[in-house]
Every structure is written in C-alpha cells, then in structure tokens.
Chains A and B, each alone.
Chain A
C-alpha cells in the first residue's frame, strides 16, 4: 500500500465509449503524474500536475484529457480511444520538491476493444 489509490483496477471499453480513470492520494503531495506502460515498452510520462496546474504535457493525443480538481485527486478522461491505447496506466504523486520520492498506484489495466 503506497498511499496512492487508482480505480478501477481493470477497464474494458469500446472505441466509442467515454470513461474516466481516477487517482487519489492523501499523502499531502503537491505533484501528481500520469504514466502509460505498454507491453515491452518503458513507462511513458503523459502529464504532470504541480499545485493543480498542468506543467507537462508530453505530446499526448487529445483523446486523453487530464483533470486535477484538487491536490488529492487526478483524473484521466478517455474518449474515442484506439486499440493501441490498451496499456497499464499508472498514477504517481510526490512532494513539490524536485528530489523526493514518487509514490505510484497499482495502475489501471485498460483494454480497448
């Protein structure tokens, strides 16, 4: 248990569906992240939020839409995804300092059919 909780753990969605991934932390952290981990690929950083403002967007397609309503919650809204978007989506949080450790959730295993 890392203190970062992701729901759901597994999600199967069609290409025309709209769904959202949720991440929650009550560690008092000010930075939150979304990563994508595809099979046999390194983790890819998607978005970074610091103090509820997006500070990084790594050329992610617009069918992925993040939302950070407060410092404890982070969402990833999904719409019109493609089968190649199937992956493990990981959320992480850290203090606002540059060199403190990041805590990761267990991830959401997403399958797009």
Chain B
C-alpha cells in the first residue's frame, strides 16, 4: 500500500471548520483515499472515501487535489465529539482486503 503523511496533531476551536491534510505523493491510479477516525476508548469508524472527485456525506467532506497527491478532510463545524485520531488511508482496489493504518492526526477541539 502507498504511504500517507499526516500532521501528528492539530487543534481547532469548537463550532469552527477543521481542515485535516493528508499527503500521498506516491498514490497509484487504483488507490482510493479513505478516512477513518478513532474516538477515545473506541474502535475506528469510517468517515468518508473517494477516488478523484470531491465527496460529501453527513459527517464530512473530502477534497481531493487534481493531481491526487494530497487530500483534505473537512469537518464543517467541529464539536467536542469530533475530538479523535483521524487516519488517512490508501486502499488499492486491485489489492486484497487489507486496510492499513498509519499514526494519524490527533485532533483536539477547544471549547
């Protein structure tokens, strides 16, 4: 699996938008970009995924650069419940079912 690079930690104020960056300069044409998050004392949960176009769902938006070498997870209005470790993961559609996690970004929300 191609690697991703994320900042170790970020802080954001409550009720403000959060932009979580991810670099994946060696992404291949068959890699999807997945985001998961892990709240304290819980297992990871799926947030969003995409291939080329920007994606929106009820949890977040995913903005993908035109060259696909980077992406940004956008939380439109952060709440205290969004404090978690956010993982950006590449998943090769031609590979097996492997889902490999890195160290992620620890997001702290300031009340």
Contact = CB atoms under 8 A, between A and B. Distances in A.
Interface of A: 2, 4, 31, 33, 35, 42-43, 45, 48, 50, 55-56, 90, 92, 94, 96, 98-99, 101-107
- Per DSSP, are chain B's interface residues mostly helix, strand or loop, or mixed? loop
Interface residues of B, number: 23
A102 B100 CA distance: 12
Given A90-B44, A101-B49, A105-B43, 15 more contacts: A2-B43, A2-B45, A31-B97, A42-B102, A45-B100, A48-B97, A50-B96, A92-B43, A94-B99, A96-B97, A99-B32, A103-B45, A104-B43, A104-B44, A107-B43
Contacts, number: 65
A33 B99 contact: yes
A17 to B, nearest CB: 25
A50 B97 CA distance: 8
Nearest to A106: B43
A8 to B, nearest CB: 15
A107 B42 CA distance: 7
A98 B96 CA distance: 7
Which residue among A4, A35, A90, A102 has the maximum number of chain B CB atoms within 10 Å of its CB?
A102
B44 A43 contact: yes
B49 A42 contact: no
A45 B98 contact: yes
Contacts of B93: 98-99
Nearest to B46: A101
Interface in B30-62: 32, 34, 36, 42-46, 49
B49 A99 contact: yes
A98 B93 CA distance: 5
